[in-house]
A and B are shown apart, each in its own frame.
Chain A
């Protein structure tokens, strides 16, 4: 019997906000333990939460980026469980009326595009971080109360690689939206993976096994690969699976049981009486909707369609959104956008790497790059001269046309002038001239080089080649 895997992911993402979810403490990683804390995020007696408007906005924006609905009513619930890193011993979250629901993420997988449905993206609060020492433990509450978005998929993923690609696509979307930095090293993205297997053709889902607290995408891929094989193995050997929570041991590369359904927590959810339900107004939603940006996949597809770029180029511009924006301005009206792309990706990138700056620091407009490529394409300057012009643009900020005019760099396309250069080269180099006449094609390049040298790069190389052939062939 053949089996198939069914995977759903719950991804926790820290929102990038100035302050925490319920108080004015700074939301930053890496501060000294328990310095970004106050009575509210420490859960002192008597304190009350006040929602962070920026977090609500970024949650709605994320919902829109994930093609979700943003309902007109959302509320907060208390999830009760005791743990030393949980200051109130209940976590504020959204149980049955989340801020965003029913969307999807599209991403490339294999040869095509996959769509994974999003059940919800709801807002909750992060907890503190425990550290265990030899004979005691400590808790750092700097992280407690940091806004956390939980993005829950439907069980639409069919394999470990697909889960991996979904996570990468999700990360790209969140980074694109400026919603989260998604820095794994800083624990800003954590994942729970729900996996079951069933015989192909069976519609009923198998027993769900949850792997908790994954903090890397590659870990998710490895754990899912392992777990799918393990579950299929159990069934093949006639065993049964029970619903349970497992943990991934990255060092050994296995999952192990943490608890079964019987010892599952009863979280005793109930509506938080300290917070009013959130009822987004039309104006508020419209304002956020106006700030929705194009998603990475859509942009890639558009770059390929509109500028005839190869996929690899489009990916570069999607991966570096600022560079992509720069390219699109530079390529506006360009006859050969690919040539503009080459300039931006190669020459401009190299120069930026060299100076350590970004496109925002440049003292010339993106359109100037388009203009420069236009000069080359139109035959006004050679691509070699263009390099010099480009260097000058960096220094002076002048437009390429101005530089070419001021320095008299226009390409020589006057056939009389070029013919003189060619004759000089042939006279000075009788050997190579003879070689060409005798059928040695490569000799022409040498002569061409001499002409270019003599013209200080200004000769139109194509015309030079044609002229040389004409003279030597007559």
Chain B
């Protein structure tokens, strides 16, 4: 069952000659054929291309090459450019567009020897928390296919949990990696803003977006981050901080590590089962020697409003390029303006239109100061809250989501309810922190729950250390859904 392996397990077997990359890749392809009909994690995949990459990896290994991901099948969120492959952002507006270039992350994965295959589903342009906003139909939660898998990187989480790939790449603007990881039961890591190059990631909100891995355990997240992190001259917001060996941080020793619990996170609507699972997880960390204390993040209540102003403003400009002039779908019109209107009217889904309109509004003459400028100031205060807290603690713990996965259609008629489900994850992006979600239990209905840990900028080693220590003491991450 090579498709069920973690990266570290698979690379061990590949190194020992017990398995080939072709076998592992074929196993993933077979698994997709078997289960993806009910999950809809993959928008497209090219078996021939995947197997050719696998063969090349096997040949390289035979020639003595050693690379961290040599021969490991990785699924890619449909928002990251892979040369020669479709790039749709789960939207109709890109039509039959194929990317003519590689994202930096794609390049780094290639250099590390990964088999990059498949385009996994997401909320259109990464806007959403359920993957219901995909123009190609929602992905389904493998634990209950009547429920959403979270989003926007829903396909990335589903593909990992359903063992359709070994690991996947997602992107996180307000929780889009951590939230689906929590709701599906895998590990999701959002690196510090500037840690991973955004070149080739189709921008939703440029100052919040960050690429990260979704994996079967914490060690795999550390391996993936080590590959994709690092300096990139093509991204001016990338920080040239040296990349440490993240796996070296996985010592299992968290004695003396200080963990903060924000008192403002005791919100209405927090599911008691979620709360209980989080409390138990924190108790486990404490048992292992971490010091737990309450902290305050006084501007928490402004986070969602701040986020939806900053993110939508950026999106309204970032998505302006999709109008059918140079690429993608085009609906003809009598003038360029009419062509724009017709193309964008037909090409974008409801949620994307809603956010473009919101973003256009907050940037409009006469409203800029009241909305955008104030949101920028609020963002500074929110960031300051965290930097102050991190003077007292090393990490901050909370639930990843206020509830387990909800039913498909349950919140899609109420955008505001949907936005509120991002309450615990959004601040991390506003403050430019790193964060991780690890499985921490199941609800009575058998739905996965996630523990979120947040770290200071470039504090990934501590983040991974604590997540790994917790994971070592539990077996939640090893549970797999039964799929017909």
A residues lining the B interface (CB < 8 Å)? 39, 42-51, 78, 80, 82-84, 87-90, 137, 139, 141, 266, 268-270, 272-276
For residue B97, give the distance in angstroms from its CB to the closest CB of chain A. Answer: 8
B233 at the interface (CB under 8 A from A): yes
Chain B minimum-CB-distance residue to A268: B363
A87 CB contact (under 8 Å) in B79, B203, B326, B360: B326
B199 CB contact (under 8 Å) in A48, A80, A89, A276: A48
Residues of A within 8 A of B327 (CB): 44
Q: Is A48's CB under 8 angstroms from B234's CB? A: yes
B200 at the interface (CB under 8 A from A): yes
For residue B111, give the distance in angstroms from its CB to the closest CB of chain A. Answer: 19
Contact A273 B206, CB 8 Å, known A47-B199, A89-B320, A90-B317: yes
Q: Is A42's CB under 8 angstroms from B326's CB? A: yes
Q: Is B202's CB under 8 angstroms from A45's CB? A: yes
A80 CB contact (under 8 Å) in B81, B198, B322, B363: B363
Chain B minimum-CB-distance residue to A51: B236
CA distance in complex: A272, B316 (Å): 12
* Interface-central residue, A83, A269, A273, A275, by most chain B CB under 10 Å: A273
Q: Is B364's CB under 8 angstroms from A50's CB? A: no
Q: Which of B362-380 contact A (CB under 8 A)?
A: 363-365, 368, 372
Given contacts A268-B368, A269-B368, 19 further A-B contacts (CB under 8 A): A39-B101, A44-B100, A44-B101, A44-B326, A45-B87, A45-B322, A46-B80, A46-B201, A48-B236, A50-B233, A50-B235, A80-B317, A82-B323, A84-B325, A141-B326, A268-B360, A273-B314, A274-B237, A275-B237
Q: Which of B312-336 contact A (CB under 8 A)?
A: 313-314, 316-317, 320-323, 325-327, 336
A48 CB contact (under 8 Å) in B198, B321, B323, B365: B198
Residues of A within 8 A of B133 (CB): none
Q: Is B337's CB under 8 angstroms from A82's CB? A: yes
Chain B minimum-CB-distance residue to A274: B206
CA distance in complex: A42, B321 (Å): 10
Q: Which of B295-324 contact A (CB under 8 A)?
A: 313-314, 316-317, 320-323
CA distance in complex: A359, B321 (Å): 50
Residues of A within 8 A of B205 (CB): 273
Q: Is B81's CB under 8 angstroms from A45's CB? A: yes
For residue A259, give the distance in angstroms from its CB to the closest CB of chain B. Answer: 14
Q: Is B321's CB under 8 angstroms from A89's CB? A: yes
Chain B minimum-CB-distance residue to A267: B365
B203 CB contact (under 8 Å) in A39, A46, A139, A266: A46
CA distance in complex: A49, B101 (Å): 15
A276 CB contact (under 8 Å) in B201, B237, B365: B237
Residues of B within 8 A of A273 (CB): 205-207, 237, 314
Q: Is B199's CB under 8 angstroms from A46's CB? A: yes
Chain B minimum-CB-distance residue to A76: B236
B321 CB contact (under 8 Å) in A88, A269, A276: A88
Residues of B within 8 A of A269 (CB): 363, 368
Residues of A within 8 A of B101 (CB): 39, 44, 47
CA distance in complex: A399, B40 (Å): 88
CA distance in complex: A48, B103 (Å): 11
Chain B minimum-CB-distance residue to A89: B320
Residues of A within 8 A of B235 (CB): 48, 50
Q: Is B321's CB under 8 angstroms from A270's CB? A: no
CA distance in complex: A228, B200 (Å): 51
For residue B383, give the distance in angstroms from its CB to the closest CB of chain A. Answer: 15
| 14 A-B pairs (CB sep. < 8 Å) | A43-B321, A44-B100, A45-B87, A45-B202, A46-B81, A46-B201, A46-B202, A48-B235, A83-B336, A84-B336, A88-B321, A89-B321, A268-B360, A274-B203
Residues of B within 8 A of A82 (CB): 320, 323, 336-337, 340
CA distance in complex: A179, B34 (Å): 63
CA distance in complex: A139, B327 (Å): 13
Chain B minimum-CB-distance residue to A38: B101
A274 CB contact (under 8 Å) in B99, B100, B236, B372: B236
Q: Is B368's CB under 8 angstroms from A270's CB? A: yes
Contact A275 B336, CB 8 Å, known A80-B320, A88-B321: no
CA distance in complex: A273, B206 (Å): 6
Chain B minimum-CB-distance residue to A270: B363
Residues of A within 8 A of B233 (CB): 50
Residues of B within 8 A of A268 (CB): 316-317, 360, 363-365, 368
Residues of A within 8 A of B100 (CB): 39, 44
CA distance in complex: A50, B237 (Å): 10
CA distance in complex: A270, B317 (Å): 9
A139 CB contact (under 8 Å) in B81, B313, B325, B337: B325
B313 CB contact (under 8 Å) in A89, A270, A275: A270
CA distance in complex: A80, B318 (Å): 10
Q: Is A78's CB under 8 angstroms from B236's CB? A: no
B94 at the interface (CB under 8 A from A): yes
Q: Is A276's CB under 8 angstroms from B320's CB? A: no
CA distance in complex: A275, B237 (Å): 7
Residues of A within 8 A of B454 (CB): none
CA distance in complex: A268, B356 (Å): 13
B89 at the interface (CB under 8 A from A): yes
CA distance in complex: A43, B317 (Å): 12
Write out, one digit per residue, whether chain B residues 196-220 have a CB within 8 A of any chain A CB (1) or not (0).
Answer: 0011111101110000000000000
Q: Is A276's CB under 8 angstroms from B236's CB? A: yes
Residues of B within 8 A of A45 (CB): 81, 87, 89, 94, 97, 99, 202, 321-322
* Interface-central residue, A49, A83, A268, by most chain B CB under 10 Å: A268
Contact A87 B314, CB 8 Å, known A46-B103, A48-B198: no
Residues of B within 8 A of A137 (CB): 336
Q: Is A46's CB under 8 angstroms from B365's CB? A: no
Contact A46 B320, CB 8 Å, known A82-B340, A274-B236: no
CA distance in complex: A139, B339 (Å): 15
Chain A minimum-CB-distance residue to B208: A273
B364 CB contact (under 8 Å) in A84, A89, A266: A266
Chain B minimum-CB-distance residue to A90: B317
CA distance in complex: A273, B204 (Å): 11
CA distance in complex: A90, B322 (Å): 12
Residues of A within 8 A of B81 (CB): 45-46
For residue B241, give the distance in angstroms from its CB to the closest CB of chain A. Answer: 15
B320 CB contact (under 8 Å) in A39, A88, A139: A88
Residues of A within 8 A of B97 (CB): 45
Chain B minimum-CB-distance residue to A79: B317
